[in-house]
Structure 1
């Protein structure tokens, strides 16, 4: 038997050792030690690159402190911090609600319950999931983790994604808020319900036909069969909250930055152009990232825009905005987000033009 404790073994010896290990030999069973290697010794050394990176970061913070401290009271920074705080605190309660409900579904509801509720055929499950969205009070921040839980529990991805889109757009709280904002205009409420539900169902059917399983990344189960349900609930909630919450902060920061960078004069210049105004309001819905339970009041504030343009703001926002894209990437992965967001935008705009033209 070759000497497995000699540090100067050549490549052939190391290769033989690898083959022996692959064949099932365990040196620990014979009281021997695995050979040290140069690679192993290098791995145990502190990473000097990381140390230098942190040193440069701290130096940059120290050098920029004087400049930053003078800018903290600037009006633009105050506006940014106000918008960032508003978006984060507006979305956080619904995110907590969605994460808690998602964890409860994972821990306490057996997979067979979903199989009985949703039809087995994905094409038939899509409209059922869309109408089910009208039962859950909350915004888009709550629907993302719930949709992830549905997929993990065996619901067809297309049905779960349909629920993700419909729930924040047609639930009772959003419909009542829209009716209050557009008092005396029931056609706006009906248009929002019809356009949002139609877009959600169409997107679900498109995913049934063209979606691929490897585009959706879901974490593998972290608990063995038989683990206490309360432990599963706790760990699932902590994981989802830390993961999605971080992306929520990133999305809120991006939305706040764009809020203070877009001059309102640019918006008024295109308000009278029918198609362009709809596209501009859709872009604003993506950038402003307003909660779906408050976006009707924001849409109403753009009085110079047409009813169809305001409808675009209320249809596109709950489907695709900056914080929502970030949260979808956190739950399903970026391969999913970069495909799903453009699909939602195109179908949502088409639904807006059709329903807006018919009802408004």
Structure 2
């Protein structure tokens, strides 16, 4: 190749020629010795981060050594384990379904199945949530997969809210938890579907594209369908699983920190009791297939307060917020969660006053 210093050309030797004739010690044609090695500042930073991590482990072990057998810690560990194990199968199911939608269902199918106009697409997506068994952990990756396939964000977000709240498994569990009270099942279905559709319509009208970070494709567009399925599932399960753990840690911590006496003290106050149970649903982060049994055990609270617990929980809780942030970004969460909370409370009050 041309020599920039002298203008002459230097013949290149193959590896065989070098071995046959011997190496003359001239290494001008070799890459610089620092290639492929981390540079000084980066290497130093890595060492310091690792050292800090080891130091934190040592301090944490010393500080927690006398507290690991405490009742509060055992309760925290039990709640965190229960939340994670309860949500993980549904998260895997949702990730697998999302990967299948990405790999095997052509985008043209969604353009034919879902109306183009949001005024019709949103209720269709909400009604579709009634046929898919799964909890809120499954709905986030599925909604992300729908957006990847070209479904309007407002319709996908309506499905995200409706699916964990009105699917057949949840409604049957509610009927079992409240025997002889079909009005509770009807109220949960009506309030949840109404809130989900209202959120979808408002997002379609006022939502902006830069508020929602679209899910990225994590595979080669020309790869085989099974490879796309495998790579999409591997990425999503690692990504969503990490945020599930973060949400579970936060929920378990708040479960232990918030005293139960604070909750029962407001049970006889109509409006405040609804707000308290809505907040409790967010903090407890119970899977939607099991929350009806918890609501039924709160006998001191009014039926409307219990309805708020059942409507708010599947749409807003700590692990769901973490999953949404990891999938769509914090700019989305800052706008979507308050909107959903306001509408779920409004529909809980309205449907509770009407049916309960």
Q: Which residue of 2 aligns with 1:28?
A: none
Q: Which residue of 1 aligns with 2:154?
A: 158
Q: Which residue of 2 aligns with 1:178?
A: 174
Q: Deviations over 1:267-322 (max 9, x none)?
A: 11100000000000000010000000000001111110000000000000011100
Which of residues 245, 268, 287 is equivalent to 1:249? 245
Q: Distance in 2 between matches of 1:107 and 1:41?
A: 38
Q: Deviations over 1:172-231 (max 9, x none)?
A: 000000000000000000000000000000000000111111111124323344310000
1:183-222 equivalent positions in 2, closer than 5 A: 183-222=179-218
Which of residues 260, 266, 285 is equivalent to 1:264? 260
1:75-90 equivalent positions in 2, closer than 5 A: 75-90=71-86
Please say if 1:109 is aligned against 2:105.
yes
CA, structure 1 residues 58+223, in 2 after alignment: closer, same or farther (shift >3 Å)?
closer
Residues 220, 228 of structure 2: 8 Å contact kept = no
3-state SS of the aligned residue for 1:319?
A: coil
CA, structure 1 residues 71+105, in 2 after alignment: closer, same or farther (shift >3 Å)?
same
Give the TM-score of the pair, scaled to structure 1: 0.87
CA, structure 1 residues 352+334, in 2 after alignment: closer, same or farther (shift >3 Å)?
same
Q: Distance in 2 between matches of 1:95 and 1:222?
A: 19
Q: Distance in 2 between matches of 1:229 and 1:178?
A: 39
Residues 304, 348 of structure 2: 8 Å contact kept = yes
3-state SS of the aligned residue for 1:260?
A: helix
Deviation at 1:54, TM superposition (A): 2.4
Q: Deviations over 1:69-102 (max 9, x none)?
A: 2211111000000000000000000000000000
Q: Distance in 2 between matches of 1:336 and 1:4?
A: 53
Please say if 1:345 is aligned against 2:341.
yes
Which structure 1 residue ranges, 4+ long, deviate > 4 Å from structure 2? 40-45
Deviation at 1:263, TM superposition (A): 1.1
Q: Deviations over 1:38-73 (max 9, x none)?
A: xx9994554323322321331232234233122111
Residues 144, 215 of structure 2: 8 Å contact kept = no
Give the TM-score of the pair, scaled to structure 2: 0.88
RMSD of Structure 2 on Structure 1 (CA): 2.1
3-state SS of the aligned residue for 1:47?
A: helix
